[in-house]
Structure 1
Amino acid sequence: MVSEVPQHATDTLASLLAAELPGRVRRHVMLSEISRWRIGGPAAIYVEPRSSAEAARVMALMADRPEPLFIMGDSTNTLFDDRGFSGVIMRIGRNLSAMEIGGKSVWAQAGVWMPHFAKAVGSAGLGGIEHTIGIPGTLGGLIVMNGGSQRKGIGVNVKEALCADEHGNFFALDQTQCGFSYRTSALQRRRVVLLEATLQFQPRSRQDVRADMLSILRDRRGKFPQKLPNCGSTFLSNPAMYEHVGPPGRVIEGAGLKGLRRGGAQISKLHANFIVNTGGATSDDVLWLINHIRSEVFIRTGYAMDCEVRHLSPEGVLRAAHESALERWRSRSSGVAR
C-alpha cells in the first residue's frame, strides 16, 4: 500500500499536473526502475518538467496541496522505500541539461549529467572540476549535497544558483547564501528546487586536466563497485574519526563487516563504505545493514557514523538513512541512539 492519501485526491492532483505539463505526468511509477539502487515501490505521481518555468509551476501547484513533493535528480544519494511514495516525484533530469561556457564562467541547468559537465568544462581548458569526474548524478544534486571527491566539494565553484521557492517564485542565491559545508548546503533545509547555476573555474591546460581525470577514473575503477547498483558512499567521513581511526570504509572493513549480506543487499567486497544490490535487495535490507554497521563501529571505536545517503519514507519524510534505520532497528548500544 502506497499511502493513506485518498485515491480521489491523487486523481485530482494528477489531472491538475497533466493540465499544466501535458505529456510529462505518469502514474504509479516503480521507483526501483529509476533508482540508482534499483530499490523502491510505486510513486503515486511522477513528473519530468522540460523547463524551469514548468518546474516552478509544479512548485506553485503543490504549495497548498496535502500530498508530499520530492525533488530528485538521479537519486544518487537516496534510498527509496519499498512501500513506495504517496505524493509527487519531480525529476530534474535530462530535460533540463543545457549548458554554456564563456571564459571562466559556466552556466548550466540543474539536470545536466555530471560526467558530461566535467568533461565539457575540462575540454574548455578550465580546472577545478577534475575531482567530480566519474561521479554519477546531476549537477543540481551535486550542488545541493556539495558533493565531490578527494574531500573536495563543488560548492567552492558555485557563483550563483537560480531556484524556485515553494510558491513557484524564482530567486537567486550567491555562494555565501547557499551555505556550503562538507557534503551539505542550506538548499537541503529549504523547500526549494534548484534549476540553474553559474559556476566559476580557473584556466588550466587541457592536457593536465585530462591526465588528472583519467587518473581519478582509474583509481575509482579499482576502488569502487561499478557493476552492481549502489548509491555511492553510505557514510560520511567524520574528520575526527578519520584522523584517529581512518575513513569509514577502512573502519567498516576493520570491524570484519566487508561482504556481509542481508537479503539482496551486501556490504561491497570492493569498498566497505558501499552497499550494493546483488539482486532483489529491499529498503529494509539496506537499513538493517546501515544500523548493524553503525552499531558495530560504535562499539569498536566510540564513533557514531552518520549517513550521507538519505531515506525517503512513503509519507515524504526525508532524513539521513541512519535515523530511519535506528527507528526500524534499535541499536544494541544506547550510545548510538542519536
Structure 2
Amino acid sequence: MNSAGQLAALLSRELPGQVHEHVRLADVSRWRIGGPAAVFVEPTSSKAAARVMAIMAERPEPLFLMGDASNTLFDDAGFSGVIMRIGRNLSSYRITSNSIWAQAGIWVPRLASAAGDAGLSGIEHTIGIPGTLGGLIVMNGGSQRKGIGLNVKEVLCADEAGHMFRLDREACGFAYRTSSLQSRRVAILEATLELEHGQRRSIRRELLGILRERRGKFPQKLPNCGSTFLSDPEMYKHIGPPGRAIEEAGLKGLRKGGACISALHANFIINEGGATSDDVLGLIALIRNEVFQRTGYLMNCEVRHLSPEGRLRPAHEAAIERWPEPPLRIADS
C-alpha cells in the first residue's frame, strides 16, 4: 500500500465512510478545474473534523480545508495530501430570536434565505454568494461592499492540534475581504450570527432584487470562481472597480485555452470547457500587466491558487512565478 493509501486507511479507521482516495478536484471545484487529490475527507461532525486536524498535525502530508471552493483555483497536477471538505455534511442551522447558530458547511444563499424567512435582517447581501459560511467568514466575504464579519458574534474553531475553541468578533480581526483567520491554522466549524428583526416582506423584496441584479451582471451558467481581482480602494477612487479597468483595457472575451474573460462581467474568468489552471493563470498574468500598463495600478487576486504541495497564495503570485514575463495578448486564442 502506498503512502496515500496508508493515510486513507488511517483516517478511515477514525472516520468510517467519510474518506475517499484519488478524488478529481475538477468534480468538486466551482471552476471545474483541478487534478486528483490523494485523500479527500468529508467529516460528518465538528468532532470528526477536529480529529482530522489532530491526525494531520502528526503527519508530513499537507492538509487543505475547503468549503465550496468558490475562491480557489486547484492545480491540474492535483494535490498530494489531504483535502477536508466542510460542506453539506456539516450544514445544520438553528434560529433563536435574533441570532442564528449554523455549522460552517451551510450554503450561504440557503442561510440568507432562512434568515429572511424568519424576519431577520443583516445578511441579505450574501444571498447570491455561492459558497459556504466557513469560507465566507475566513474571507469576510459579502457584496455591496459589506462583509459577513459585521454579523458574526462567535465562531467555533479547531486548531491544527485538533483542540476546539471559540473566538468572538473582535478576535477574528475582520477587515475588508480579509480576517485574522486567514493567517491562523484553524478550521471553522460553527458560527453564531447576530441579526436584526425586520419585515419579512421587505427583506424578501431585497433578496429577490439582489438576485435579479446578479443574474443581469454576473455569468451564472458557466463554471467560474466569482470575482478574480480584489477591489483596491485607491484604484476604485481614481479608476473604478477591477471589472471596469479590465473592460476599458479591451480584454472582455479574451481567451486562453478553455478559459475566457467573461463578456458579461470582465472580473470573472469562466471555464468554457476544458480550461486548465495554466489557462486561468495565463489570463491573470496578462490582465494584471495590461491594466498596469494602462492605469499604473497592479491588481491583486481575490482568488487563491493551491499548489500540489499545499502552498496556498493569491493566484497572481502563482501567475507571476509561472510567467515572469506576461504572455502576449496576440498569442492568446
* TM-score where L is the length of structure 2: 0.97
Q: Number of matched residues?
A: 327
CA contact (8 A) 1:165 1:192 kept: yes
Q: 1:331, CA displacement in angstroms?
A: 3.8
Separation in structure 2 between the aligned mates of residue 332 and residue 55 of structure 1, nearest angstrom: 40
Specify the alignment match of 1:325 in structure 2: 319
Q: 1:179 aligned to 2:192?
A: no
CA contact (8 A) 2:285 2:326 kept: no
Q: 1:189 aligned to 2:145?
A: no
Specify the alignment match of 1:169 in structure 2: 163
Task: Please state whether the residue corresponding to 2:2 is helix, strand or coil.
Answer: helix
Specify the alignment match of 1:4 in structure 2: none
Q: 1:115, CA displacement in angstroms?
A: 1.0
CA contact (8 A) 2:5 2:21 kept: no
Separation in structure 1 between the aligned mates of residue 118 and residue 192 of structure 2, nearest angstrom: 16
Q: 1:274, CA displacement in angstroms?
A: 0.1
Separation in structure 2 between the aligned mates of residue 152 and residue 298 of structure 1, nearest angstrom: 27
Q: 1:332, CA displacement in angstroms?
A: 5.3
Alignment of 1:107-126 (within 5 A): 107-126=101-120
Task: Summarize deviations over 1:267-291 as a string: whole Å, max 9, x none.
Answer: 0000000000000000000000001
Q: 1:136 aligned to 2:135?
A: no
Q: 1:152, CA displacement in angstroms?
A: 0.5
Q: 1:9, CA displacement in angstroms?
A: 2.3
CA contact (8 A) 1:257 1:293 kept: yes
Task: Please state whether the residue corresponding to 2:37 is helix, strand or coil.
Answer: strand
The correspondence for 2:246, drawn from 252, 275, 283, is 252
Task: Summarize deviations over 1:172-194 as a string: whole Å, max 9, x none.
Answer: 00001001111111111111100
Q: 1:202, CA displacement in angstroms?
A: 0.8
Task: Summarize deviations over 1:274-315 as a string: whole Å, max 9, x none.
Answer: 000000000000000001000000111111101000000000
Specify the alignment match of 2:79 in structure 1: 85
CA contact (8 A) 1:295 1:331 kept: no
Query: Residue type matched to 2:261 in 1?
Result: I
CA contact (8 A) 1:86 1:316 kept: yes
Task: Summarize deviations over 1:21-67 as a string: whole Å, max 9, x none.
Answer: 11111100000000100000000000100000000000000002110
Query: Residue type matched to 1:116 in 2?
Result: R
Specify the alignment match of 2:20 in structure 1: 26
Query: Residue type matched to 2:65 in 1?
Result: I
Q: 1:81, CA displacement in angstroms?
A: 0.2
Q: 1:307 aligned to 2:301?
A: yes
Q: 1:94 aligned to 2:120?
A: no
Identity of aligned residues (%): 71
Separation in structure 2 between the aligned mates of residue 78 and residue 255 of structure 1, nearest angstrom: 25
Task: Summarize deviations over 1:96-151 as a string: whole Å, max 9, x none.
Answer: 01101111111000001111100001111111111001110111111111000011
Separation in structure 2 between the aligned mates of residue 263 and residue 195 of structure 1, nearest angstrom: 38
How large is the RMSD of aligned CA atoms in angstroms? 1.0
Separation in structure 2 between the aligned mates of residue 300 and residue 254 of structure 1, nearest angstrom: 9
Q: Which runs of 4+ in 1 moved over 6 A?
A: none
The correspondence for 1:283, drawn from 277, 283, 300, is 277
**Larger deviation: 10-19 or 59-68?**
10-19
In structure 2, stretches of 5+ residues that fail to align are 328-333
